[in-house]
Chain A
Amino acid sequence: MNNTVQTMPDHLRSPFSSKVKSWETLLLLVAIGIFILNSFSSPYFLDAWNLSDATFNFTEKAMIAFAMALLIISGEIDLSVASIIALASTAMGAAAQFGAGTAELVFVGLTVGICCGAFNALLVTVMGLPSIVVTIGTMSLFRGISYIVLGDGSYRGYPEDFAFFGQGYVGWVISFELALFGGLAVFYWVLLHKTNFGRAVYTIGNNPVAALFSGIRVQRVKFILFLLTGLMSGVAAVCLTSRLGSTRPSIGVGMELEVVTMVVLGGVSILGGSGSIVGVVLAALVMGLMTFGLGLLNVPGIVMSIFLGLLLIGVIALPRLWSRYVSRTE
């Protein structure tokens, strides 16, 4: 309720100055800063192939982050995404054992993703349960099924051309995953910022009761958002499985937190109601560039997570301080 009050400006700024002072500008500056730092600290950073390899650090997570951004803007969350990857990948592995071709494998992966999303959606929208509780439950459920099926074993023997999704290139250094990331970024940007559906998502996040009374079918929109998140987890499962060439029940473990981190770093309010796709894209770049740059310096993983934590706190604290400063000067 009070969200609406807070986001209501008491006077309008010029479009230029609001753009300059936006979160996206800040993230862009951070991304450029990291890029420049990296090019100075490692002689191997500025290389088209190396930069192309680096994109694999974030493409799969970012695909899920787009859908997750919409879900979080609407005031819900899905913590089961990494487990959906495990289940979808296990299903694809099982299908491959029965001789399924590449097209069937993709179909299986996406279908399992959508079904898992639908299951979450049913529990949240029809049964009216809180999404954080539901998806913590399904997080264990989906991965648990993978563990029952696979135990300590693994699925291998995917068809040769299946490797294209995670290891193929559409042209020069542009990998299939990077191209898909770009395409999905445009799709989600249009969906969130240019359609009635997108406006409904914002409205629901700001005030679900008001949204209901203004004729938005709140539960249906949320249902679709869970389906989309499940579908994107299925897409990520196809890419990750193809990149690894094998499936183990531990696939993608812990990825849900990185996805949520990406969304929050992208400026999406964890309380719902605000955020943008451009922010998420920039956050993906910032996270990818930073892990790759630190990796080139052989910085241990634990130090990397410290940097990421500091960056997250910094980027969240900075705009607060900034807006306080701006409101004082105006």
Chain B
Amino acid sequence: MRAMKKLLTSVAVATALISGTADAADKRIAIVVKALGIGFFEAAAKGAEEAAAELGDVEIIYTGPTDTTAEGQIEVINALIAQRVDAIAISANDTDALVPALKKAMSRGITVISWDSGVAAEGRSMHLNPSSNALIGNMIVKLAADHLPEGGDVAVLSATTTSTNQNIWIEEMNKVMGDYPGINVVGTVYGDDLADKSYREANGLMQTYPDLRAIIAPTSVGIVAAAQAVADAGKIGEVNVTGLGLPSEMAGAIESGASKSFAIWNPIDLGYSATMLAYNLSQGVAEAKPGAEIPMGRMGSLTLDDKNEGAMADPFVYDASNIEQFKSIF
């Protein structure tokens, strides 16, 4: 009798093991990243797991190739098509080369979205951008203004005069300056995204404008150099450095107080939103078409533009309260 029972249990366990993956959760959403082992994407996977826990009936398949190649991602996509996953959310290594493979996935009924790094329009139903130029332009001046309730002089330390992204962000910033009365942009200098040149330009700013209260550097190289320049000049507390930077590189500046806060996208939110969007599209809650509003849980909802692209949120603000958590991530 006992032997019989044992046999039955082991058969049951074996059956469960074989069919387990298919039964455990009904909806399988694959998060495909550029390559495994990159902190930014590991954090996004954490966000995806958070979304899955919230949704309840979702299993996350976090996968990607070893190297950042399109061919590697195609092999991954083929394996996912074979498993008939419900949705694929991909950060692409190649805008064009993945299109045929992803088209095949869509033709077999799989919902495909891209996030972070996009796929050409034919290869996905929609694309999720971490933020938008307008939101970034507003955020960089807001960061400076938040710590200057009385107003004051601020200056911009950009990359090169021809850097497309930085120029658009500064242009967007100038558009919203009216919302921040008392904030006075006294000048814009260019550090060419070189650490030493950015450092010299930041020093120059402090000498030229003795009343300078903040330096806005919408570049990850410039912000670190400017923070260093402020610290070396002994002006911590007097001049606040802010802008766009990476938590791992800015942790020291936050700790010393040279920078009170800065911004960049939050990979956890990005993974969370991508999962929510993929789920809602695959379940028919919403349809990916221009103008559509697709819910994404705690992140609100995403409005698609005429190219089926949407911006997730304001850049995420990093300061002394959360830098410890993020500096090891990216």
- A residues touching B (Cβ–Cβ < 8 Å)? 40-45, 47, 49-50, 53-54, 56-57, 154, 156, 163, 166-167, 240, 243-246, 248, 250-255, 291-292, 295-296, 298, 300-302, 304-305
Using A245-B99, A302-B36 as known contacts, say yes or no to A254 and B63 having CB atoms under 8 A apart.
no
Q: Provide the residues of chain B in CB contact with A302, threshold 8 Å.
A: 36-37, 66
- Report if B325 contacts A (CB, 8 A): no
Per-residue A-contact encoding for B60-103, CB less than 8 Å = 1, 0 else: 01011111011110111011011110000000001111011000
Rounded to whole angstroms, the CA-CA distance of A291 and B74 in the bound complex is 12
A167 touches B100 (CB 8 A): yes
Rounded to whole angstroms, the CA-CA distance of A291 and B82 in the bound complex is 13
10 A-B pairs with CB atoms under 8 Å apart are A44-B83, A45-B82, A163-B100, A245-B96, A245-B100, A246-B96, A295-B78, A296-B79, A298-B61, A300-B64
Rounded to whole angstroms, the CA-CA distance of A54 and B96 in the bound complex is 21
Closest to B62 in A: A298
Closest to A50 in B: B82
Q: What range describes how many residues of B lie at the interface?
A: 20 to 34
Interface set, chain B 11-63, CB cutoff 8 A to A: 18-19, 22, 35-37, 61, 63
B97 touches A246 (CB 8 A): yes
Closest to A42 in B: B83
- B residues touching A (Cβ–Cβ < 8 Å)? 18-19, 22, 35-37, 61, 63-67, 69-72, 74-76, 78-79, 81-84, 94-97, 99-100
Shortest Cβ gap from A271 to chain B (Å): 30
Rounded to whole angstroms, the CA-CA distance of A43 and B61 in the bound complex is 16
Q: A167-B100, A300-B63 are known; give 9 further A-B pairs, CB within 8 A.
A: A43-B22, A54-B82, A56-B74, A156-B96, A253-B69, A255-B71, A295-B78, A298-B61, A301-B76
Closest to B19 in A: A43
Closest to B65 in A: A301
Rounded to whole angstroms, the CA-CA distance of A202 and B182 in the bound complex is 85
Rounded to whole angstroms, the CA-CA distance of A81 and B145 in the bound complex is 57
Pick the residue among B37, B71, B79, B95 that contacts A292 (CB under 8 A): B79
B76 touches A295 (CB 8 A): yes
Using A156-B96, A245-B99 as known contacts, say yes or no to A53 and B71 having CB atoms under 8 A apart.
no
Most chain A C-beta atoms within 10 Å of own C-beta, residue among B61, B65, B69, B74: B69
